């Protein structure tokens, strides 16, 4: 258990004293992991489900993490959430077997039967109200008061097509914690995306190791060589060139002055095809086909002028062609200027969205122990109204080294488990971060320290806002 300091804050095991260095014990030490269970997860907003999974009144789905089970329910008055425990003797009233170790997801509809405890038959409706106590006369009156027998509510808020839960009733709101990045995503119609597929796997690695693999593009050159090689020779590598901004978006769209637009467009198109094959949602096949139509567009020969025009034409055509099919695509040119989002956006503490055009990929990571986690991937896209597919209710669970995973996560999963083992090597005491492009790793780790130390949550919320748009960004002064 963490001890209190003279300043009223708790002492932190293996703290981030140097923002460029992360003590490796944070990724496997039992005391540090317990500190996260005690002081981080009880106070943060966790992505619990996609709203399309509970479309009808009475639909419910179970969310489990760090020993807690919550039922997220669509009611007549909106989305509500209840702790999944009978008020009699604590048996889960629905599901209850999915603590991530079984990799299945419990769900159903309670509009007709309500929730029924499998132990003694007590019942509740979707609003958490007790509707039946078997043998009521056997109990003292004080044992049957409403506050004693109704389900305990869990805080829930909705945004960007998802329900988020928080075990802390006094935490700042979801929007206060995540900040303007939510508004930017909503401008991109993220709430209208629907899942095409969902994969899950157990990784033999700390949950933070799994997340940090996606917090910078610096690894692409070695981990994803097919993506790196797809760029033309004239493409500017922002990691090699200190004069370039450390932005993956800028890097992917830049070209040296004087090179051919045709060459750069062809290289960019190959990059899109590889992203489509590698992750589906990041660049959807329908967007690739639109890009294919524009390979011979009439554009200035010099790539410094022609390539930006090609991207503008592509965004315009994706918008117009998919809207013509009935898809709720925003004006991509307009929102890219008014509400820009990075190619990877991290929503603290465990959720990612990866947008490029109108579709996205999404990641969620949950800890299963100091050196084990459950990692889920979604492919998300837009559909015409009335043509949405049935919701994907649970992940297809595969071994982390399965060839059935798309190529890009398969390459990442090849590194993550061996990195976890490498952290135990004698003499390896710290992660050594780039202050310029691995800042997101440092920034979110120091926010974790804030939770572990007991920094006021209003201050932590302001710091968490700084994580939006921080992919491939610098280490920041978070004032915590």
* pLDDT tens readout for residues 83-92: 999 999 999 9
- pLDDT above 70 (res 257): no
Average pLDDT over residues 116-130: 97
Model confidence pLDDT, tens digit, residues 30-71: 999 999 999 999 999 999 999 999 999 999 999 999 999 999
- pLDDT above 50 (res 215): yes
Model confidence pLDDT, tens digit, residues 279-327: 777 899 999 999 999 999 999 999 889 999 999 999 999 999 999 999 9
Model confidence pLDDT, tens digit, residues 400-448: 999 999 889 999 999 999 999 999 999 999 999 999 999 999 999 999 9
Query: Dihedral angle at the C-alpha atoms of 45, 48, 53, 56, nearest 10 degrees?
Result: -70
- pLDDT above 50 (res 251): no
Q: Which among 210, 209, 217 has a CA at the least distance from the CA of 376?
A: 210
Average pLDDT over residues 381-388: 96
What whole-number distance in Å separates Cα of residue 71 and Cα of residue 49? 10
Model pLDDT, residue 280? 76
Q: Please tell me whether residue 53 adopts helix, strand or coil conformation.
A: helix
Average pLDDT over residues 440-465: 98
Task: Decide if 454 contacts 8 (C-beta within 8 A).
Answer: yes
- Domains, the chain, in order of start with CATH, read 1-45+171-480 (3.90.380), 46-162 (2.102.10.10)
Model pLDDT, residue 231? 66
Model pLDDT, residue 160? 98
The DSSP-derived string for 212-273 is HTTS-STTHHHH-HHHHHHS-TTS--TTT-TTS-S-HHHHHH---TTSBHHHHHHHHHHHHH
Q: What percent of the chain has pLDDT over 90?
A: 83
What whole-number distance in Å separates Cα of residue 288 and Cα of residue 311? 13
What whole-number distance in Å separates Cα of residue 202 and Cα of residue 376? 9
Rg over CA atoms, the chain: 24
Confidence of residue 390 (pLDDT cuts 50, 70, 90): very high
Q: Where are the alpha helices (DSSP H) in 325-381?
A: 332-338
């Amino acid at each position: 258990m963490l001890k209190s300091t003279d300043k009223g804050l708790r002492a932190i095991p293996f703290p981030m004293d140097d923002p460029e260095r992360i003590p490796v014990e944070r990724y496997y030490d039992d005391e540090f992991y317990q500190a996260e269970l005690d002081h981080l997860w009880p106070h943060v907003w966790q992505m619990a489900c996609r709203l399309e999974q509970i479309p009808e009144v009475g639909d419910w789905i179970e969310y489990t993490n760090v020993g807690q089970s919550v039922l997220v329910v669509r009611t007549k008055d909106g989305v509500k959430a209840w702790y999944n425990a009978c008020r009699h003797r604590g048996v889960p009233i629905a599901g209850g077997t999915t603590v991530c170790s079984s990799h299945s997801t419990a769900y159903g509809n309670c509009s007709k039967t309500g929730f029924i405890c499998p132990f003694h038959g007590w019942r509740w409706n979707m609003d958490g109200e007790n509707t039946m106590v078997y043998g009521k006369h056997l109990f003292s009156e004080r044992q049957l008061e409403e506050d004693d027998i109704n389900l305990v509510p869990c805080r829930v808020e909705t945004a960007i097509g998802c329900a988020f839960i928080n075990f802390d009733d006094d935490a700042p709101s979801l929007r206060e914690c995540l900040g303007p990045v939510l508004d930017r995503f909503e401008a991109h119609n993220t709430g209208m995306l629907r899942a095409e597929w969902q994969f899950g796997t157990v990784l033999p690695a700390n949950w933070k190791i799994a997340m940090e693999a996606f917090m910078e593009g610096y690894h692409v050159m070695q981990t994803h060589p097919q993506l790196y090689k797809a760029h033309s020779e004239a493409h500017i590598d922002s990691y090699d060139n200190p004069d370039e901004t450390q932005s993956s978006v800028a890097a992917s769209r830049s070209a040296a002055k004087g090179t051919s637009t045709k060459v750069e467009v062809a290289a960019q198109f190959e990059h899109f095809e590889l992203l489509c094959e590698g992750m589906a949602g990041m660049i959807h096949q329908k967007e690739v086909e639109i890009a294919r139509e524009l390979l011979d567009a009439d554009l200035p020969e010099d790539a410094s002028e022609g390539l930006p025009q090609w991207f503008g034409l592509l965004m315009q055509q994706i918008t117009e062609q998919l809207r013509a099919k009935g898809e709720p695509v925003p004006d991509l040119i307009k929102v890219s200027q008014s509400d820009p989002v990075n190619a990877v956006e991290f929503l603290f503490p465990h959720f990612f969205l990866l947008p490029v055009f109108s579709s996205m990929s999404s990641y969620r990571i949950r800890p299963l122990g100091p050196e084990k986690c459950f990692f889920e991937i979604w492919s998300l896209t837009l559909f015409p109204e009335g043509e949405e597919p049935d919701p994907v209710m649970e992940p297809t669970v595969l071994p982390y080294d399965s060839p059935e995973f798309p190529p890009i996560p398969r390459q990442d999963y090849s590194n993550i488990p061996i990195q976890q083992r490498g952290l135990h090597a004698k003499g390896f005491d710290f992660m050594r971060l780039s202050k310029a492009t691995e800042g997101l790793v440092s920034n979110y780790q120091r926010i974790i320290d804030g939770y572990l130390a007991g920094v006021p949550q209003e201050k932590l919320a302001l710091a968490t806002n700084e994580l939006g748009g921080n992919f491939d960004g610098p280490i920041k002064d978070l004032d915590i």
